[in-house]
Structure 1
Amino acid sequence: MANSAEPSSSLSFTLSSHLSNGSVSHNICPSFGADPGHNLDVISLSKLSSNLEQLLIDPACDYSDAEIIVEEIPVGVHQCILASRSKFFHELFKSEKGSSDKEGKLKYSMSDLLPYGNVGYEAFQIFLGYVYTGKLKPSPMEVSTCVDNVCAHAACRPAINFAVELMYASSIFQIPELVSLFQRRLLNFVGKALVEDVIPILMVAFHCKLSQLVTQCVDRVVRSDIDQISIEKELPYELVEKVKLLRQNQQQDMETDASVDVPVVDPLCLKRITRIHKALDSDDVELVKLLLNESDITLDKANALHYATAYCDPKVVSEVLSLGLADVNLRNSRGYSVLHIAAMRKEPSIIVSLLSKGACASDLTSDGQSAVSICRRLTRPKDYHAKTEQGKETNKDRICIDVLEREMRRNPLAGDATTSSHTMADDLHMKLLYLENRVAFARLFFPSEAKLAMDIAHAETTSEFAGLSASKGSNGNLREVDLNETPIVQNKRLLSRMEALMKTVEMGRRYFPHCSEVLDKFMEDDLPDLFYLEKGTQEEQRIKRTRFMELKDDVHKAFTKDKAEFSRSGISSSSSSSSLRDSVHYNKARKV
């Protein structure tokens, strides 16, 4: 976060970023003709700022006379400093409503101080740092970024949430210069963020009575494709009515424009859908069944599974799924599948229930996000890497991501293979690249078994990586381009190739599960660079060769385990290849 545009505090601690630990930076040089007295004032204030900061960061300087409990962590504060800077704390300490400990310190709970919203530990530390020193420190990466490696963190949910927390602290604890600063920062988010992520900005603007920010957020929501049901569930009544009125005016303008086709909404249909949603809110799936029998409204037409996934108890989602009447891969009007909605909610039990019923983890939103990438963009590094203490609830953020990643590795090609668009062709190329390289790596370590599985699946191998032997047959080489090939023919060829490679991989997973597990991990963690053993410095090459040999050893150990399991099941290791062939032939005969 750049502080150059941030206003100075009421203490006028200017140019404090040029100093650290109370010492003057050598970069500070009075300009020609500058007032020496002014520069002396700046240096004095900067020293004072650094000295006061020690009260927060140095355990040896614990002279606090009050504590505020934030996320179960006691934070020592000094009444005289907070009361002099904040009218809120002045009134709080004057009333002495906090409880006292053995040392006589007043204790307050952050949740008791906030009439609305939330302020976490890290946000409160940043806020205190400004109150004490007049300097606003950069936001900690572990709470203001997400775990998606390709995200620029310009407007992901953790970045927005952290700014929202700081706005709550600045507004409730009455530091007006910070309110002004964070209003500008949140205004900058509004144009960049997904509309779902504008909702928390709108909520803090509403509660903090920031009219300019409210107007901008409402305008964004009105112009978006977010449905009225979601708006009513997420926003207070006053804002819901404001959005509804503006949308009605917008629709009237569209109706007067003859060139625009305005969809007609059936009031009776809308009423019946609302009844189904209210029944789900009441956890009454039996009532849902009755309502379905009484009209021609289906679960899919009501987007009932999307609604339950977003707002209802996981048990209700499971019961709706058990009815067998809803399409688990249905997309709503915004192009979100049910699994996308579950990823936004980050409830592991719902995600697992949907996957067990056939939800496709590789389906993408209109902006190219999968369920797992949605989860990553909602998750802070602090939460993802948090260790679960014994007896405490497991970290849900990590579980959701792990479950979805495992599903993607287990079946990276799940999805609708009937689309014949250029987008689908590009997607197929990526999926085929994954399988081509996975099969090529398998051939490197157990060539005879891999070749047998490929022969049975009628799959010739190709490779996108130098150093691996590859067949150059035109049937498999993804780099070859036929200018006379239509998109439909191309998709048909790619799908045929994909099916053959899928059979090869599944055959390997069936008969060599331990090897497949090592391969899956390798494809996830080490693939991008390890095949190019001759690239990089000598030290980098040495490290890569060492890692390559470790992987080779891991695969052979896994292969030994697979052979041992064959032996325990009554099949000799020497006959494993023939058993594989015989089993496949037997399965084919059964299908015939």
Structure 2
Amino acid sequence: MMAHSAEPSSSLSFTSSSHLSNGSVSHNMCSSHGSEPVPNLEVISLSKLSSSLEQLLLESDVDLSDADIVVEGETVGVHRCILASRSNFFNKLFKKDKGSSQKEGKLKYCMNDLLPYGKVGLEAFQIFLSYIYTGKLKPSPMEVSTCVDHVCVHDACRPAINFAVELMYASSIFQIPELVSLFQRRLLNFVGKAFVEDVIPILTVAFHCQLSELVTRCVDRVARSNLDQTSIEKELPLELAAKVKLLRRNYHHDVENNTSVVDDPIRQKRITRIHKALDSDDVELVKLLLSESEMKLDEASALHYAAAYCDPKVVSEVLGLGMADVNLRNSRGYTVLHIAAMRKEPSIIVSLLTKGACASEVTYDGQSAVTICRRLTRPKDYHAKTEKGKETNKDRICIDVLEREVRRNPMAGDAIISSHTMADDLHMKLLYLENRVAFAKVFFPSEAKLAIDIAHAQTSEFAGLSASKGSNGNLREVDLNETPLAQNKRLLTRMQTLMKTVEMGRRYFPHCSEVLDKFMEDDLPDLFYLEKGTPDEQKIKRARFMELKEDVQKAFNKDKANGMPASSSSSSLRGSVNYKARKV
């Protein structure tokens, strides 16, 4: 089950007395006239009791609570008699009144003081409290258990996982065993679906709540993944990090290009020293260590490490050294900007973009930096209203900055494609780029050839169009033995080459690129089928086509007048467009 789609009315109840004894006539279904069943009186009474107790939580005009619990700055009124009867934790707490203060006859507690570690948010506590009072588990609120990515199904995104983790934690600490069992099953379902970095919070809560089955599953998932050992040691308790390391050895699991695999102890020791220097905010020491070891920043993944774990000013200082590749990929295919997006620290993201980080780069599984940010952000945070004099939510800032960079940067695949679905679909981006370069070869053959040669690209002529018509064309044959990861890597490499081709075209033939931009945005769908539609529609299409012909010619003349390389595009262009016009 998804964290946000819990059953409207759970089968969990106050007691196990719903399994009725055979000898209880009043509890059994009976017939007054031997035909119609009489409603189960215990079910009716429990249902009424549940509804009545729920009103204690819902009624705001009359406050009958005798204690307050402050959660995330909000005060939640509770009734000690109910909590004490349902939870041993609260029973002991209220008996001792330890850590509480008396104010106007009402006890007040802070949620952070009740938890030995971790956190439980307001919405999670309200769901938990509702179950305590009514015996029914409500659905998780969408605004805190889903992300703001429009194409995500929310079955394993970080907000869905985090909300289930909070409910699990609350159920364990406040000692409600039936809820612990329920949420453990839910989290077990997440383990196989989630990105490995999103398994970390599940493993952490399972460890603290002593859920051995969940711990075993999570450790196995992490050990079999390509998550580097440095990240594991930074984000997990030492005991769990040691388990993962031992299990990897047992599996003989050597992660390709993973710097955490201790194949060279001396090299690994040097990398560890550099990371510790970064932890100490000592960039001068980093420079000294690099000089002594003759190691490069990129070899130590220093910028990735700083973006993930260090103070933002340290990231700026490392960038200031000018010794690191800001678009370097780590062993998992993540650039530094991808790591910064996972951290959601606006100042780091801005620093990286200022130094040339590419916002349109995608991971091997097709995630851009803005996609990563969106899948980590709850609607509650994204849509939160900023009060005057208070800081804007960092999650919203990160997404806005990255989206603005994507729109500003002409090389971003998302810049032309407005649909979020298309923007996050690697195949759709590739199809767009294939068609764009193909049309550039028709309209501006020599200029396109020059851009292709610079980018070392070999494009398929109208790949998208051929596919849409059912023709194989020049498309690559399908390899049935190709794994999804290998396919994504191949498509990503192809897309990067095509993007470089478009970049060269924009840099050296800007006016031609503007024409192609407008054509791909506004005219491409309609001009494919000039002969279709009503006579008036066809007339409009023909007129637009002639305008396009003039725009192409003007663009060529402008680029040529601005000192761009002369070519034979003009004659080829006129022949191609005039042929299409005659055909129309």
Distance 2:74 2:60 in 1: 15
Q: Deviations over 1:183-229 (max 9, x none)?
A: 11111111111110111011111111111111111111111111110
Shift, 1:3, TM fit: 3.0
Kept after mapping to 2: 8 A contact 1:13/1:46: no
Q: Which amino acid aligns with 2:251?
A: Q
CA distance in 2, matches of 1:426, 1:298: 37
**Unmatched runs of 5 consecutive residues or more in structure 1:** 16-27, 256-261, 416-422, 440-453, 460-473, 532-576
Aligned with 1:479 (options 461, 465, 468)? 465
How many residues align? The count is: 481
Matched AA of 1:248:
R
* Residues 479 and 295 (structure 1), Cα distance of their counterparts in 2 relative to 1, 3 Å cut: same
- For residues 371-400 of structure 1, the C-alpha deviation after alignment (integer angstroms, 9 at most, x for no partner) is 111111100000000111112122110111
TM normalised by structure 2 equals 0.72
| Alpha-carbon separation, structure 2, partners of 1:346 and 1:263 | 28
- Look up the match of 2:357: 359
Task: After superposition, give the CA deviation of every residue in 1:402-435 in whole Å (9 maximum; x if it has no partner).
Answer: 11111112225259xxxxxxx9997443246689
Q: 2:315 aligns with which of 290, 314, 317?
A: 317
Letter paired with 1:325: M
Question: What SS does structure 1 have at the residue aligned with 2:465?
Answer: coil
Asked whether 1:94 is paired with 2:95, we answer yes
1:107, 1:374 → 2: CA distance? 39
How far apart, CA to CA, are the structure 1 residues paired with 2:219 and 2:206? 10
Q: Which has the higher contact order (CA 8 A, sep 6+)?
A: 2
Instruction: Name the CA shift for 1:265/1:36 in 2 (closer, same or farther; >3 Å).
Output: same
SS at match of 1:302: coil
Taking the aligned partners of 2:379 and 2:496, their CA distance within structure 1 comes to 42
What amino acid does structure 2 have at the position aligned with 1:315? Answer: K
How far, CA to CA, are the matches of 1:212 and 1:206 in structure 2?
10
Q: Which residue number corresponds to residue 486 of structure 2?
A: none
Asked if 1:384 is matched to 2:382, the reply is yes
Who is 2:502 aligned against?
Answer: 498
Report percent identity of matched pairs: 65
Equivalence for 2:575: none
| SS of residue in 1 equivalent to 2:95 | helix
Question: Which residue in the other structure is 1:286 paired with?
Answer: 284
| Letter paired with 1:226 | L
Residue 55 and residue 33 in structure 1: after superposition, are their counterparts in 2 closer, same or farther (change >3 A)?
Answer: farther
Judged with a 3 Å threshold, the aligned counterparts in structure 2 of structure 1 residues 493 and 282 are, in CA distance, closer, same or farther, namely closer
Could you tell me how far 1:579 is from its partner in structure 2?
A: 13
Partner of 1:306: 304
- Distance in 1 of aligned mates of 2:395 and 2:122: 19
TM-score normalised by structure 1 residue count = 0.71
Match for residue 348 of structure 1 among 346, 349, 352: 346
Structure 1 pair 529–150 and aligned structure 2 pair: CA distance change class (3 A):
farther
Write the mapping of 1:124-273 to structure 2, written as runs, cut at 5 A.
124-251=125-252, 265-273=263-271
CA–CA distance in structure 2, aligned partners of residues 328 and 476 of structure 1: 34
1:11 corresponds to 2:15? yes
Q: Which residue of 2 aligns with 1:467?
A: none
Q: Give the Cα–Cα distance (whole angstroms) in 2 for the partners of residues 31 and 147 of structure 1.
A: 55
Whether the 8 Å contact between 1:68 and 1:110 is mirrored in structure 2 is yes
Contact 2:433 2:499 in 1 (8 A): no
Q: Judging changes above 3 Å, is the alpha-carbon distance between structure 1 residues 359 and 221 closer, same or farther for their aligned structure 2 residues?
A: same
CA 1:174–1:32: 2 relative to 1, 3 Å: farther
CA contact (8 A) 2:463 2:474 kept: no
Aligned-partner residue type, residue 388 of structure 1 = T
Give the SS at the match of 1:60. Answer: coil
> Matched residues in 2 for 1:60 and 1:401: separation?
39
Provide the C-alpha distance between the structure 1 equivalents of 2:30 and 2:141, rounded to a whole number of angstroms: 31
- Whole-Å separation in 2 of the counterparts to 1:508 and 1:187: 54
Tell me how far apart the structure 2 counterparts of residues 281 and 226 of structure 1 sit (CA, whole Å): 20
Q: Contact 1:362/1:412 (CA < 8 Å) preserved in 2?
A: no
- Alpha-carbon separation, structure 1, partners of 2:157 and 2:76: 28
Give distance in 1, aligned partners of 2:199 and 2:497: 43
Deviations 1:139-182 (A, max 9, x none): 00000000111111111100000001011111111111111111
Match for 1:138: what amino acid?
Answer: P
Matched to 1:101, the amino acid is K
Evaluate the alpha carbon distance shift between residue 330 and residue 72 of structure 1 in structure 2; reply closer, same or farther with a 3 A threshold. same
**Deviation digits for residues 66-118 of structure 1, max 9, x if unmatched?**
1101110000111111111111111111112321333x211111111111111
Q: Which residue of 2 aligns with 1:369?
A: 367
Alpha-carbon contact 1:7-1:181 (below 8 Å) kept = no
Taking structure 1 as reference, are residues 370 and 582 closer, same or farther at Cα in structure 2, changes over 3 Å only? Answer: closer
Cα distance in 2 for partners of 1:337, 1:186 equals 29
Bigger drift between 141-150 and 390-399 goes to 390-399
8 Å Cα contact 1:82/1:90 also seen in 2: yes
What whole-Å deviation, never above 9, does each CA across 1:494-532 have from its counterpart, x for those lacking one? 67973586369955999x9xxx9xx9xx97xx999999x
Given that 1:432 and 1:498 are in contact with CA atoms closer than 8 Å, whether structure 2 keeps it comes out as no
Distance 2:426 2:134 in 1: 55
Q: CA, structure 1 residues 476+44, in 2 after alignment: closer, same or farther (shift >3 Å)?
A: same
8 Å CA contact retained: 1:9, 1:177: no
CA change 1:325–1:435 in 2 (3 A) is same
SS in 1 for 2:84: helix
| Deviating more after overlay: 119-128 vs 355-364 | 355-364
1:464-506 deviations in whole A, cap 9, x for unaligned?
xxxxxxxxxx987952579675879x99996797358636995
Shift of 1:9: 3.1
Change (3 A) 1:267 1:133: same
Hey, what's the Cα distance between the residues in 1 that align with 2:13 and 2:426? 54
User: Per-residue CA shift, 1:10-66, capped at 9, x if unaligned?
Assistant: 335979xxxxxxxxxxxx999998996771211111111111111111213421111
Q: Distance in 1 between matches of 2:182 and 2:523?
A: 45
Q: Distance in 2 between matches of 1:10 and 1:156?
A: 32
CA contact (8 A) 1:145 1:153 kept: yes
Counterpart-to-counterpart distance in 1, 2:381 and 2:395: 7
Task: Return the alpha-carbon distance in structure 2 between the equivalents of residues 6 and 527 of structure 1.
Answer: 53
**Aligned partners of 1:413 and 1:431 also within 8 Å:** no
Q: Contact 2:144–2:380 at 8 Å: present in 1 too?
A: yes
Corresponding residue for residue 546 of structure 2: none
Report the CA distance shift for 1:269/1:495 in structure 2 as closer, same or farther (over 3 A).
closer
Cα deviation, 1:236-260, whole Å, max 9, x if unaligned, reads 1111121122222222x889xxxxx
| SS of residue paired to 2:40 | helix
Q: Which amino acid aligns with 1:479?
A: L
| Distance in 2 (alpha carbons) for counterparts of 1:32 and 1:368 | 67
Q: Measured at CA, do residues 407 and 36 of structure 1 come closer, stay the same or move farther in structure 2, by a change above 3 Å? A: same
Describe the SS at the equivalent of 1:479: helix
C-alpha separation between the residues in 1 aligned to 2:346 and 2:389?
A: 18
**Letter matched to residue 429 of structure 1:** L
